[in-house]
Amino acid sequence: MSNAQAVGDLVSQPYKYGFVTDIETEKIAKGLSEDVVRLISSKKEEPPFLLDFRLRAYKQWLQMREPDWAALGYPPIDYQDVVYYAAPKQQQKKASLDEVDPKLLETFDKLGIPLSEQKRLSNVAVDAVFDSVSIATTYKEKLAEHGVIFCSISEAVKEHPELIERYLGTVVPSNDNYFAALNSAVFSDGSFVFIPKAVECPMELSTYFRINSGDTGQFERTLIVAEEGASVSYLEGCTAPMFDTNQLHAAVVELVALDDASIKYSTVQNWYAGDENGVGGIYNFVTKRGQCRGDRSKISWTQVETGSAITWKYPSCVLQGADSVGEFYSVALTNNKQQADTGTKMFHVGPRSRSTIVSKGISAGRSANSYRGLVQIGPKAVGARNYSQCDSMLIGDQAAANTYPYIRSQQPQASVEHEASTCRISEDQLFYLQSRGIGFEEAVSMMVSGFCRDVFNQLPMEFAAEADKLLALKLEGSVG
Amino acid sequence: MIRPDAPVLLEIRDLHARVEDKAILKGVNLTIRAGEIHAVMGRNGSGKSTLSKVLAGHPAYTVTGGSVTYRGENLLELDPEQRARIGVFLGFQYPVEIPGVSNLEFLRVSTNARRAEKGEEELDTFAFEDLVRERLKVVQMDPAFLDRSVNEGFSGGEKKRNEILQMALLEPLVAILDETDSGLDIDALRIVAGGVNQLANADNATLLITHYQRLLDAITPDYVHVMAAGRILRTGGKELALELEQRGYDWVDQELAALAAEVA
């Protein structure tokens, strides 16, 4: 067998999170209408302002058209064939973890996210979201001692409605785009984080999203606010069972950083990607945006995208404050018939705002991996600077890599740099490592992880090794 | 050092190999015993680099006939990594750059793969750093090279020194050095040759593949083989290299022509 073939086999590993939890689920009927929006809102016992927000978004959505500019091909989505709310039957969120359905705890155990008191990670607080609801959040009390709020967004709506009303939809307006409008109308659960003035969040925060039902869409909504001088590091992880139908996932994440605040948002996305013929897998349409409202504020996105049949995702920064900083570090791995169109947008509004973009795309199999990025420098962004680096690695000879960088500058004194490269794991590089006693699989995984090093270095320490393992897992398998 | 009773490490018998559809090796015979230093000389295209790649197991080359036995084991049925682990080393003519992969980590993984095969315990980061710092002296290399990516941005001489450093760490029993002298200035050549001489002992063997005599001024071979048209045409002592240096390769062509006439 030639090396090229063997590399191909190597990246086609079975998905290890493809199991389904057998649990009684409460689902509403398929389809979307004003009544469904009202039903979701009433199930969540929401205040009127939120129902208004949802209904407005729904009406906007009806007027909008699904975007078709991305380099993605998929059959039309039937939005009436999706269940918009599903929850494990356990009406009230339990006060103590011991009361949570053991099946759910077991599910998260299996996913490597132990929630129970004895086993949970000592330095990471976790919010666990199962289909449309959050089932548990760890370390809430400990965080509260520091004034940090970390809970599901549904809970925040009940307990901190004033904060939700003040910030929700202010970074990503409900009519921002088709998928954001859909999410605003039907969003189910997600996390809410609030770090008060001058508080450095004492531990890593993390949300783990699990889709379990086969015909349910997940519409998570996350909102993170860091007040003046506050800082936080947050990580989300995602997996889903293997189904031969496609599931819709349309999330919205909003970040707000005030003066001197800093938010680090990391994602390890491993939704089910479909099989080798492109059957099944998650359609992942995500709007993530951070607003550096304050001077010297900083928002940093790090993403490791390995799953989903379709990825449409552009975590962005609006650099409003003077001297504010936006960062985007991305690794996107596609295999088989996966398609990813991902990148970032950096809007430079404030003077001397700076942004850094480092994107690493790895395409294997017959997949297509596109980087799409916009750097926009407004007229007041005197002295703004951007540095972008987009590298692609091709594995095999049937994968595609594209780079679409857009640069718009209305400020003559700004500096924008863009570097791009494409490489292939060459037979000679593999042979060199092999001829030093390093096995074929380890050689490939060493090179891929070397290629991604600049991005992995940005992940919180606890997760850097995790990401490396995840990639190795995707690349692991028998050769021959 | 020639000792007729020394164990045979490598036995090549009537080896034929091709790359794509082109036959390159057409019946190579060579026996290498422990303690010996062999030099294979010949023109570009004579097949000497192919011989080294075939011995190391490069996937682009297909063996079409003959055998290679390493310490009694059929070498040709082993993967390249397995050959390296049991003690066959290829020093590359053009070591490739591997961006992003730390040289230190690469050396450690590689050394541990060989140690595991020998039944020795794996070295952790600290133990390995001690070892590598000691071995750096063999090629007078700056420890700063350990922190860089494998061969990335290394000069020609630095790459070759990195090759010999790997050899010093892996302690192979058969080291094949493919044109190790190419692209080296006089000082670098002296350092690299010095490294090879330090590592040669009574238990291992070295196979130098070279175009020029100058490497053989620094490393004295026990045997010199002249390769042409995919075969070893003549074998002699170190004086054969001097003869080649004086007479050039033209006489090789004449001998080849004579040989062809004989066959016809």
Question: What integer is the mean pLDDT of A113-138?
Answer: 73
CB contact under 8 A, A437 and B85: yes
* Residue A185 counted as domain residue: yes
The pLDDT score that the predictor gives to residue A438 is 96
Lowest-pLDDT choice from A95-99, A122-126, A217-221, A330-334: A95-99
Nearest chain A CA: its distance from B38 CA (Å):
21
* pLDDT for A477 beyond 50: no
Q: Structure tokens of A397?
A: 């000879």
- The answer to whether B57 contacts chain A (CB < 8 Å) is yes
Q: What value does the mean pLDDT take over residues A193-200? A: 97
Per the rule left: phi > 0, alpha: psi between -120 and 50, beta: everything else, A472 is alpha
Report the distance separating Cα A160 and Cα A192, nearest Å: 10
Interval A33-54 mean pLDDT:
95
User: Residue A5: what pLDDT?
Assistant: 46
**Whole-angstrom Cα distance, residue A175 to residue A169?**
9
Cβ count near A371 (within 10 Å) = 25
- Any A CB within 8 A of B122 CB: no
| Percent of chain A topping pLDDT 90 | 52
Residue A149 lies in a domain: yes
Residue B123 has pLDDT above 80, yes or no: yes
Closest CA to A361 of A376, A386, A385, A342: A342
In angstroms, rounded to a whole number, what is the distance separating the alpha carbons of residues A372 and A368? Answer: 13
| pLDDT single digits (tens) A394-439 | 887 888 999 999 999 999 999 999 999 888 888 899 999 999 999 9
Give domain status of residue A13, yes or no. no
Q: A437: which chain B residues are within 8 Å (Cβ-Cβ)?
A: 81, 84-85, 110, 113-114, 117, 170
Residue B169 clears pLDDT 80, i.e. is over it = yes
Tokens of B133: 């710092």
The boundaries of the domain holding residue A396 are 20-425
> Tens digits of per-residue pLDDT, A357-388?
999 998 888 889 999 999 999 999 999 999 99
Enclosing H/E stretch for A255: strand A246-257
Tokens matching residue B17: 């190999």
Contact A434 B110 (CB under 8 A): no
**A94 CB within 8 Å of a chain B CB:** no
Domain borders along chain B are: 8-93+173-263
**Contact predicate B56/B45, CB 8 Å:** no
The DSSP H or E segment spanning B81 is helix B80-85
Please compute the mean of the pLDDT values over residues A215-233 and round it to a whole number.
Answer: 93
- C-alpha dist (Å) from residue B193 to A183, B181, B217: 68, 8, 9
Q: Tell me if A430 is assigned to some domain.
A: no
Q: What is the pLDDT of residue A476?
A: 46
Question: B35-71 b/e with 16+ CB inside 10 Å = b?
Answer: bbbbbbbbbeebbbbbbbbbbbbbbebebeebebbbb
Please state the pTM of the whole predicted model.
Answer: 0.80
A118: confidence class by pLDDT, cuts 50, 70, 90: low
CA distance to partner chain A, nearest, from residue B6 (Å): 27
Retrieve residue A86's tokens: 């599903």
Query: Is any Cβ of chain B less than 8 angstroms from the Cβ of A437?
Result: yes
Distance CA B87, CA A183 (A): 61
Please judge whether A428 and B166 are an interchain contact, meaning their C-beta atoms are less than 8 angstroms apart.
no
pLDDT higher than 90, residue A173 = yes
Residue listed under structure tokens 């339990």: A94
Query: In chain B, whose CA is at the least distance from the CA of A455?
Result: B100
The model's pLDDT over B201-256, given as tens digits with 9 standing for 90+, comes to 999 999 999 988 889 999 999 999 999 999 999 999 999 988 888 888 888 778 87
Query: What number is the average pLDDT over the span B196-204?
Result: 95
Say if A74 is an interface residue toward chain B (CB within 8 Å).
no
Chain A contact present for B58, CB below 8 A = yes
CATH superfamily of this structure's domain B8-93+173-263: P-loop containing nucleotide triphosphate hydrolases (3.40.50.300)
pLDDT of residue B195: 93
Q: What 8-state DSSP symbol labels residue A227?
A: -
- In this structure, the number of other CB atoms found within 10 A of the CB of residue A69 comes to 8
How confident is the model at residue A122, as a pLDDT?
Answer: 65
Amino acid at site A285: F
Q: Is residue A111 pLDDT above 90, yes or no? A: no
Mean pLDDT of the region B165-183:
94
The verdict on a CB contact (< 8 Å) between A438 and B81 is: yes
What's the rounded mean pLDDT across residues A55-69? 95
Question: Is A192 a domain residue?
Answer: yes
pLDDT tier for residue A6 given thresholds of 50, 70 and 90? very low
Q: Name the closest residue on chain B to residue A442, using Cα atoms.
A: B109
d(CA A265, CA A251): 15
Q: What is the pLDDT of residue B198?
A: 95
Region of A169 (left: φ > 0; alpha: ψ -120 to 50; beta: rest) is left
Domain assignment present for residue A207? The answer is yes
Asked if B79 and A3 come within 8 Å (Cβ–Cβ), the reply is no
Comparing A91 with A161, the larger pLDDT belongs to A161
DSSP string covering A376-400 = EE-TT-TT-EEEEEEEEEE-SSS-E
Mean pLDDT of chain A: 86
- Residue A466: the pLDDT is 66
Residues A440, B79: C-beta atoms closer than 8 Å: yes
Q: How far is it, in rounded angstroms, from Cα B79 to Cα A437? A: 9
* Predicted confidence (pLDDT) at residue B186 exceeds the cutoff of 80: yes
The minimum CA-CA distance between B260 and chain A, rounded to whole Å, is 36
Helix (H, G, I), strand (E, B) or coil at B14: strand
CA angle A281, A345, A336 (to 5 degrees): 25
Measured CA distances, A300 to A30, A173, A221, A235, A327 (Å) = 37, 21, 19, 12, 4
> For residue A120, what pLDDT is reported?
66
Task: Name residue A195's beta-bridge partners.
Answer: A226
Nearest CA in chain A to B52: A435
Q: Given CB atoms, is A435 within the 8 Å cutoff of chain B? A: yes
Residues of A within 8 A of B90 (CB-CB) are: 435
Mean pLDDT throughout A273-278? 80
Number of domains composing chain A: 1
- Residue B234 pairs with which residues in a beta bridge? B226
Number of A:B CB contacts under 8 A? 77
Confidence at B119, pLDDT banded by 50, 70, 90: very high
DSSP secondary structure, A425-467, as one string:
--HHHHHHHHTTT--HHHHHHHHHHHHTHHHHTTS-HHHHHHH
- Paired strand residues for A347: A318, A376
Question: Is residue A398, in this structure, part of any structural domain at all?
Answer: yes
CB contact under 8 A, A447 and B83: no
Which pair of structure tokens corresponds to residue A36?
A: 């469904």
Q: Which of A407, A261, A420, A266 is nearest to A348 (CA)?
A: A407
Q: How far apart are CA A74 and CA A410, in angstroms?
A: 36
